[in-house]
Every structure is written in structure tokens, then in C-alpha cells.
Structure 1
Amino acid sequence: MTQPSRRYVFATIAVGALARPGGAFSAPEPRLTVWRTAGCGCCLAWVAHMERAGYRARVIDTEDLAAVRTRYRVPDDVAACHTALIDGYVLEGHVPAEDVRSLLLQRPPAIGLAVPGMPRGAAGMEQPDGSREGYFTLLLLDGGARRTFSRH
């Protein structure tokens, strides 16, 4: 029996390193930086939701979340309880992981995504009784414009 070539062995190792549970292949998710006000439990619930989806999060407690939003051009009327940054995009509020994944695949020319307020049943806002309300994820565009990215 002949030995496999070095090229074959390297390719096998490289492909195996990128394999995800369930058989899908992809590169690791980009790192997520999350700013929140200390003591906000739903922010940590959202971080846990994102980590279950494969994102690695760094959480920073801040007393001036408004300054973070200003820095990343988040309009005041979509402000929520935490602001995050991932791969050049801002995420405001309880944005579902599947919307983040779609954003990163589509790469639209935008500031990022926002779920205004704290909708019952949104990612990190799950209710013990399973109740939820409908909400929108908005795509934030330059100049304060926005459009619906997804409906939940």
C-alpha cells in the first residue's frame, strides 16, 4: 500500500479543522464585542444565544452606552439595552443569530442591524410561558435611513 502524499494529508487536516457539527463546512464565526450596562441580565441572555450559535463574545460593561451608540452611528430611536460590533457591523439590541449570519453572508453596504426596544420573545428575551410578540429586525443605512431586514 502506498503512503498518501503530503498534499493529501494537509488537505484532509485542513478540511477536518473547518468541519462543524452536522456536516457543514465553514470558517469560525467572527468575534463579537458587546457593550452593556452592568447588571442587565437580558444582555447576557442575548450573549448566551449568540454563543450557542457559534459566536465568541467579549462583553464590556460601560456606564455610557449612549457614547458607544454615537461612535457606531446607531440612531437614538432604535436604541436598546446593548450594542455589539461584529466584522465591521453594529448590532443594536436583541438581534437573532440567524439575522447576524444572513448579514455577514450578504455583506450589504450598511451600518448594521437593530431590534428596537426589548420585544417579548426576541433572542435573549424569551419568556417562561413561551409568549412572544412580533417584531422586525431593521437594516441600518447611512444617514439614518433603515429598512426591514427580517420579520419575526
Structure 2
Amino acid sequence: MFLKKRYIINILIAGLLLSVVIVAGCSNNNNNQPAQTVTLFKSEYCGCCGLYEKYLDKQDYNVNLEEMDDIDPIKDKYGIPADLRSCHTMIVGDYFVEGHIPMEAIEKLMTERPDIAGIAMPGMPSGSPGMPGAKKEPFVIMAVGKDGTISEFMRI
């Protein structure tokens, strides 16, 4: 009887330890990696840009916020085409990220590190990060080459 009880307790302990290992392995938090630091340029009067900043904060990004009256000089500096411009511009590493771009696209950009200047999603699509409403159609994110060429980066 004593051996049977001990056997059951050992099985339970092993199961508990296995569960802890599995849950720890599935965790997205990697405390050994520092948070990515980004710079977000926005108008001080834009509410949706503030919501996008909060979205980035929740994704564990360190956000350096640069509020200014006119962000067109920043867009010009990074070569963002006029027809792809949105209400804010973010710099992540060596890339610009223009508009309310979902984290999935930013992660793809930083993982693949293509030879481009940046990515952009023009306008302020409903349901995109920082924007109210439901998503009505796929988000089309464009890649902007260092030479100014434009191509589709991804659809979400």
C-alpha cells in the first residue's frame, strides 16, 4: 500500500514538473532579450497616434516619442512616397514603418531584414492598431525600396 501511494505521488510530481516545463517553453516573454527601441514621430494633436503608441507599449517596445507640428520633413528625410504617407512615422532599426502597421508586419521586417528602406500602409484603415472600428478588408503593407520602388510586402 505504501509503495502504491509513493508511486502515485511520484507520477503526480513528474506530471507537475512536465507541465511547468511545457508552459515555460511556450512563453513569449524572453527576459534575456532587451526590448526593441523605436522612435515614433507624430503630431501632438493626433489621438490615433497616441493609441498606436500604447499598442507598441503593450508589445514590449520602448517608444521614444517625438511630437512635432509638422512631420513631413521626417517623411522626406526617409524617402516615404507621398501616396504612402500616413499620420505618423516610426523608425525601427534601419527601417521606417509608416502608418498603423500591425505587429506581424514589423516582426516580419525585423526577422527577414530585407534590403529596403521601410514599409508603409497608407491611410488609416479601420480596425488597424490604434484605429477604431472593425477590419473591413485585408491590410496591404507596401515595401519601399532604397531606390523608391514600391512593391507589396505582405497582406494581413
Map 1:30-109 to 2 at 5 A: 30-109=36-115
Aligned residues: 132
Q: CA deviation at 1:21?
A: 8.1
- 1:22 and 2:1 are equivalent in the alignment: no
Partner of 1:141: 145
What SS does the aligned partner of 2:36 have? coil
Q: CA deviation at 1:27?
A: 2.1
Partner of 2:116: 110
1:21–1:33: structure 2 CA closer, same or farther, 3 Å change rule? farther
What SS does the aligned partner of 1:144 have? coil
1:13-71 deviation line (CA, Å, top 9, x unaligned): xxxxxx99815646223211011111101101111111211211111111121100011
Alpha-carbon RMSD: 2.0
- 1:119 and 2:116 are equivalent in the alignment: no
Q: Tell me the distance in 1 between the aligned counterparts of 2:28 and 2:70.
A: 42
Residue identity opposite 1:78 in structure 2: L
- Name whichever structure is richer in helix by fraction: 2
- TM-score scaled to structure 2, two decimals? 0.77
Residue identity opposite 2:97 in structure 1: L
1:108–1:131: structure 2 CA closer, same or farther, 3 Å change rule? closer
Bigger radius of gyration: 2
Q: Tell me the distance in 1 between the aligned counterparts of 2:34 and 2:95.
A: 17
Residue identity opposite 2:48 in structure 1: C
1:106–1:46: structure 2 CA closer, same or farther, 3 Å change rule? same
Q: Tell me the distance in 1 between the aligned counterparts of 2:28 and 2:84.
A: 37
Would the aligned equivalents of 2:89 and 2:97 in 1 still touch at CA under 8 Å?
yes
Q: Which runs of 5+ in 1 are unaligned?
A: 1-18
Residue identity opposite 2:47 in structure 1: G
Residue identity opposite 1:139 in structure 2: A
- TM-score scaled to structure 1, two decimals? 0.79
Q: CA deviation at 1:135?
A: 2.4
Percent sequence identity is: 28
Residue identity opposite 2:58 in structure 1: R
